[in-house]
Amino acid sequence: MSNIILETKDVVKKFGGLIAVKNVSMQVKEGEIFGIIGPNGAGKTTLLNSVSGVYKPEEGQVFFKGENITNQGAHVLCRKGIARTYQIVNSFPRMTVLENVKIGSIFGSAIPQDDDAKAREILDFVGFPLPVDTIAGNLNTVQLKYLELARALATNGELLLLDEVAAGLTPGELTEFIELIKRIRDRGITVITIEHVMKFIMTICERIIVLNYGEKIAEGTPEEIVNDKLVLEAYLGKEHAVEAE
């Protein structure tokens, strides 16, 4: 049996009276690309935030490589090997691309270091299309996504959490991005990705969980998920799901 790199057990996250994540349990295997899908407001980002230390769950546990990491802060988890991107891309706009990536490597390392060569290697690996001394504030949305990914890789993580990285890409850009995520996995990094873009999810994920109103309603391979009645209902509404059968 393959190793479990990340596990959540009955995680609950509330915002006041709203239960954004309800008893979600999942197991992610080392080396896989794991998808989280669900309608808007389903709790996908909140679940990832509860895993990466941005939020502290009210109930349940999170395990990373067998260690109970529940309630540990995001900076601690980053050093332990959990890297992530954010749904709203957030660079340091007055710094260069290279400086932005170096910030990732400084945060991620137990011994802070100003590692120019490593930052260049990572930008090269993601195929960053512009000179490394370009000011980040001048990048377009797609270039920012590549920078965001490079910064996450610079933290030296073993688990990469992606929140809607494929949103807004053209079909050509999407194909390139899919290849890049596969190369990241081939580098030995486990990937958990939240995504609305179905081509992305269906092409690269080995397994998927589906959230709806904070609850996990389905889990399986892409083929199993597209044929799941509860999933169709969550996306299309009950009446239309019956028509679609």
Ligand X SMILES: Nc1ncnc2c1ncn2[C@@H]1O[C@H](COP(=O)(O)OP(=O)(O)OP(=O)(O)O)[C@@H](O)[C@H]1O
Binding site for ligand X (CB under 6 A): 15, 18, 20, 38, 40-46, 87
Q: Where are the alpha helices (DSSP H) in 110-237?
A: 116-126, 141-154, 171-186, 198-204, 222-226, 229-236
- Residue holding tokens 């679940």? 47
Chosen from Mg ion, ligand X, none, partner binding at 41 (C-beta under 5 to 8 Å by type): ligand X
> Can you name the residues that pair with 216 across neighbouring β-strands?
211
In the complex with ligand X, which residue's Cβ is closer, 37 or 144?
A: 37
* Minimum distance from residue 195 beta carbon to ligand X (Å): 9
In the complex with ligand X, which residue's Cβ is closer, 18 or 76?
A: 18
Q: Give me 190's structure tokens.
A: 């486990």
Angstrom distance (rounded) from CA 205 to CA 216: 17
Q: Give me 79's structure tokens.
A: 């050093």
Residue type present at position 225 = I
Chosen from ligand X, Mg ion, none, partner binding at 20 (C-beta under 5 to 8 Å by type): ligand X
In the complex with ligand X, which residue's Cβ is closer, 144 or 154?
A: 144
Chosen from ligand X, Mg ion, none, partner binding at 40 (C-beta under 5 to 8 Å by type): ligand X
Question: Which of the residues 15 through 74 are near Mg ion (CB under 5 A)?
Answer: 44-45
Chosen from Mg ion, ligand X, none, partner binding at 162 (C-beta under 5 to 8 Å by type): none
**Residue 9 exposure: Cα atoms within 13 Å on the Cβ side:** 11
* Minimum distance from residue 28 beta carbon to ligand X (Å): 18
In the complex with Mg ion, which residue's Cβ is closer, 143 or 193?
A: 193
- How many residues contact Mg ion, by CB under 5 A? 2
90-110 burial, b at 16+ Cβ within 10 Å, e below that, comes to ebeeeeebbbbbbbbbbbbbe
* Minimum distance from residue 40 beta carbon to Mg ion (Å): 8
Q: Is 10 left (phi over 0), alpha (psi -120 to 50) or beta?
A: left
Chosen from Mg ion, ligand X, none, partner binding at 160 (C-beta under 5 to 8 Å by type): none
Chosen from ligand X, Mg ion, none, partner binding at 38 (C-beta under 5 to 8 Å by type): ligand X
Positions that interact with Mg ion (CB under 5 A): 44-45
